[in-house]
Amino acid sequence: MINCKMYENASTCNVSSKSMECFMVLSTQAQKISTATLCGLFGTLGIFENCLVLYLIFSSPGTRRKPSYIFISSLALADLLASIIFVRSFVNFHVFNETDSSKELFLLKLGGVNTSFMASLSSLLLMALDRYISISYPSKYKLLVTRKRAWTALGVLWVTCVATAFLPLMGWNCCTLNSACSELFPFVDNNYLSTWICLVMVLLGCIVCAYARMLWRAHQHVAYMGKHQVHVGKQNTRMRMDVMLAKTLVMVLTVLVLCWLPALILMIYSIFVNLNNHLRKVFAFCSTLCLLNSMVNPIIYALRSKELYSSL
């Protein structure tokens, strides 16, 4: 990496190729090779696994009609897009040091990455709410969560994610506003980054709250089934399935937090403190953990979902 000095004034926006090189923090060949290898491995496995999940869901009439698996397919699609867009953009920028011809093209690619990751997180929220309703109101579940409502919710989700992700391209960037620029992302306004982080934290908070309530109800169901084993029937079979899926989603959330938390912490830190090259290299590595999340999610489904596993 060339010797370059970050903006003396964070409010300065520079669209030259030399200023872009300041964000290319991988300075040695070993760092570039290891990063490219990780991205290639995680990306290839993520593409294969998420394509497999989508195929298994939509090739079976029994799964593609269930709202629960409609939400899972949304998560798989988001992770598939993340595996494709993130790897291509990240490797081209940090490994091959390719710069885009314009600020707009860079923000377009960044918007694509942002959309896929936000849709993944938002899909997890819908899945958590779906399981919570199924466990809390099993007798009313089919009336409350229909296919039409599931597809409508996904439509609102994806439109919102796209609109939010492409706000920098539509004008909320430090070049257009002549405002403070992020030290981690070229052309990104610090206020936008702060807003995005707050949105992610709210989504995570809502998911955690839904899981906490859901697991409490699941615990109550398990206790109930233990006391009434002689009455095990169709209703209790559904309860056991909901408990299993609830545990699956908790595993997904745990992986999500472990993969995203380091990057989020560094994003927050960058808003208040100037980052040195070492911390920006750490952030680049932590960004690949977000890609790891997109690879791990389908593995969890294959191991925990009997319907998908039996279709293999």
Question: In the structure, what pLDDT confidence band is assigned to residue 9 with cuts at 50, 70 and 90?
Answer: very low
1: in domain: no
pLDDT for res 98: 83
Q: Which of 6-10, 16-20, 269-273 comes out lowest in average pLDDT?
A: 6-10
C-beta separation of 222 from 243 below 8 A: yes
- List the domain range (segments joined by +) for residue 173: 26-310
Has residue 10 got a pLDDT over 50?
no
pLDDT of residue 81: 95
Residue-level pLDDT at 154: 96
CA 302/CA 312 separation, integer angstroms: 9
Domain count across the chain: 1
For range 182-204, the mean pLDDT: 91
pLDDT at 11: 45
- CATH code of the domain in which 230 resides: 1.20.1070.10
Statement: residue 12 has pLDDT above 90: no
212 vs 203, higher pLDDT? 203
Domain membership flag for residue 196: yes
At residue 225, the pLDDT reads 64
* 246 vs 30, residue with greater confidence: 30
Q: What percent of the chain has pLDDT over 90?
A: 39
Q: Is residue 138 part of a domain?
A: yes
What pLDDT score was predicted for residue 2?
43
Say if residue 136's pLDDT is above 90. Answer: no
What percent of the chain lies above the pLDDT cut of 70? 81
| Whether the Cβ atoms of residue 170 and residue 267 lie closer than 8 Å to each other | no
Q: How far apart are CA 181 and CA 168, in angstroms?
A: 12
Query: How confident is the model at residue 49, as a pLDDT?
Result: 92
More confident residue, 299 or 198: 198
257 within some domain: yes
Give the dihedral of Cα atoms 163, 211, 66, 135; nearest 10 deg: -140
DSSP per residue over 285-307, as a string? HHHHHHHHHHHHHHHHHHHH-HH
pLDDT at residue 6, as a whole number: 46
Q: How confident is the model at residue 269 (pLDDT cuts 50, 70, 90)?
A: very high
pLDDT digits (tens, 9 = 90+) for 23-44: 888 888 998 999 999 999 999 9
* 100 falls within a domain: yes
Q: In which band, very low, low, confident or very high, does the pLDDT at 277 lie, cut at 50, 70 and 90?
A: confident
Tell me, yes or no, whether 191 lies in a domain.
Answer: yes
pLDDT surpassing 70 at residue 61:
yes
Lowest mean pLDDT among 21-25, 89-93, 121-125: 21-25
Residue 290 sits at the vertex; the CA angle it makes with 286 and 296, to the nearest 5 degrees, is: 125
Is the residue at 153 inside a domain? yes
pTM of the model: 0.86
Q: Is the pLDDT of residue 48 over 90?
A: yes
Output the CA–CA distances (angstroms, integers) from residue 129 to 153, 156, 276, in the order listed.
11, 15, 41
At residue 138's C-alpha, the angle toward residues 136 and 139, to 5°, is: 130
CA distance 4 to 198: 31
Residue 13 lies inside a defined structural domain of this protein = no
Give the residue, 301 or 15, on which the prediction is more confident: 301
pLDDT at residue number 37: 93
**174-183, 193-202, 251-260: the lowest-pLDDT one:** 251-260
Across 37-41, 170-174, 209-213, 223-227, least confident range: 223-227
Give the per-residue pLDDT at 123. 93
Query: What are the phi and psi torsion angles at 5 (to 5°)?
Result: -110, 130
The pLDDT of 279-298, averaged and rounded, is 89
Return the number of other C-beta atoms located less than 10 Å from residue 44's C-beta. 13
Looking at residue 189, the DSSP 8-state letter turns out to be B
